[in-house]
Amino acid sequence: MYNPRSLVVPIFLVAGCASTAQPAGQGTNAPDATAAAPADPNAPKPRSTLAVRGADPIKGRKLVPKEKPRDPSWTPPPVQPLPTFAVADLYPSMAAPGSLVEIRGGGFSKGVQVEGPGGAWEVVEVGIGRIVARVPSGAKAGPLAVVRGKQRVTSPTPFVPLSPDTTFGRPVERLDRGLAARVFVIDEGTRELPSFDDVGDPVGTIHLAGVDVPSGAFAGFDHRGAARNTFFALHATGGLNVTQEGEVELCVESDDGAQLYVEQNLVVDNDGVHEAKTACELVYLEPGLYKVDLLYFQADGPVALRLSWKREGGEAEAIPVDALFRPEP
C-alpha cells in the first residue's frame, strides 16, 4: 500500500506566474525538494507543471491526466469469477441500511440467497462472479452467507452496518460512481495524518457516493464489538472526470485533517487537528480522468469531509458524484 503523504512533490513554474501555495510548515521561498524514493512502484511520483497557455499566464498549477475523459455512460468491466462456489470479498463492507453491496466470488447463479446475522438480504442482481444485494434495516455485523441449494459459503470479511445519517451512512444506490475508501483504526492521540504504510490492514471499506459530509456527530462503526467514532482514518481513491479544459479551484473542508492528491501530486493540504475548515488550491486541468487520493483522519469531536470545486464561470459546489469514478476492482 503506498503512502501519498510521505512524499514532497516539487513544483516547477515558468517565470512570471503566480507561485503555488506551499505545504504547511514550508516557507514560500523554500528551495525545491526531491521526493524520497517511493516504497513501491505505484507510489506517487513528482510531476513537473506547465504555466503558460499560449501567451496568457495560467494562475493555477497545470496537471496532466494519464487517461482520456470517461464517457458518462461508462460501466465497470465484468468481474472475473472465481473457479469455484465461493465468496472473495464484499464492497463496500461498511454501509447503511438501504445501500447496495457487491458480493464478489464465483459459482453464483439465479436463485441464490444472501443471508446475514440480521436475516435475509434482498438480491438485486446476479452474475456468475458477482451478486448485488441490498442491506436490510435489521442488518447486524458479521459475515454474509451466499446459499445455493444445499450449499452455503460465507464472506472472509464481516459486513459492518452504519447508522443511516448524513455523515458516512448515506444509502448508496450506485457503486460505479464515487470514491472507494479504506478505513483504518489509528493510535489515540494522533495529531496529523498517519503514514498509511504503517497503520496495518484496513478494518473495512466505505463507498463515498460524492464527498459531502457536513460537520456533525458521527455515530461510528462497529470495531471489536464497540462503536468507533474517534481515531480512525480513510484513504479514498478513484478518478475525477474532467470534460472541459480550464482553471478549477479545488477545495477540501475537513475536521480533522485531510489532504488531496491529484495524479500523485499533493494539491490541497488541510492536515492537523482542527475544527471544520476549508483549504483550496487553483489548478489548470485538461479534459481527462485524473487519479485522486483523498486522505482523512478523525481525532475526536465532530467529523466533516467535503470535496468541492469552482470551475471557470461557475459557482462553488460539491463535486457531483457523476464526476467521480470508483477504481476498477
Q: What is the CATH number of the domain that holds 132?
A: 2.60.40.10
Mind listing the pLDDT tens digit for each residue in 225-265? Answer: 899 999 999 999 999 999 999 999 999 999 999 999 999 99
Q: Are 251 and 133 in a shared domain?
A: no
Q: How many Cα atoms occupy the beta-carbon half-sphere of 233 within 13 Å? A: 31
Predicted pLDDT of residue 34: 39
Q: Are 237 and 295 in a shared domain?
A: yes
Q: Are 223 and 296 in a shared domain?
A: yes
> Is 59 a domain residue?
yes
| 287 pLDDT above the threshold of 90 | yes
| 38 pLDDT above the threshold of 80 | no
> Is 165 a domain residue?
no
> Is 11 a domain residue?
yes
Q: Are 181 and 263 in a shared domain?
A: yes
> Domain range spanning residue 102?
86-160
* Domain end among 100, 131, 160: 160
* Domain end among 160, 190, 209: 160
Q: Are 315 and 223 in a shared domain?
A: yes
> Is 297 a domain residue?
yes
Q: Are 21 and 114 in a shared domain?
A: no
> Is 170 a domain residue?
no
pLDDT band (50, 70, 90) for residue 148: very high
* Residue in 241, 219, 253 with CA at minimum distance from that of residue 287: 241
Q: Are 230 and 137 in a shared domain?
A: no
Dihedral sign, Cα of residue 36, residue 258, residue 197, residue 195? positive
Instruction: Count how many domains the chain has.
Output: 2
Q: Cβ(268)–Cβ(293) under 8 Å?
A: no
| 18 pLDDT above the threshold of 70 | no
Poorest-pLDDT segment among 55-69, 101-115, 220-234:
55-69
* Domain end among 132, 160, 188: 160
C-alpha cell at 174: 450506485
C-alpha cell at 53: 497557455
Q: Are 228 and 327 in a shared domain?
A: yes
Q: Are 72 and 3 in a shared domain?
A: yes
Residues 6+ apart with CB under 8 A from 223: 185, 203
Q: What is the average per-residue pLDDT within 139-143?
A: 95
> Is 168 a domain residue?
no
- Specify the pTM: 0.83
Predicted pLDDT of residue 88: 97
Mean pLDDT of the chain, nearest integer: 86
Q: Are 16 and 125 in a shared domain?
A: no
Poorest-pLDDT segment among 12-21, 34-43, 186-195, 253-262:
12-21
Specify the CATH number for the domain of residue 210. 2.60.120.260
Q: Are 72 and 114 in a shared domain?
A: no
Q: List, in sequence order, every residue forming a beta bridge with 258; answer none if it has no partner.
A: 270, 296
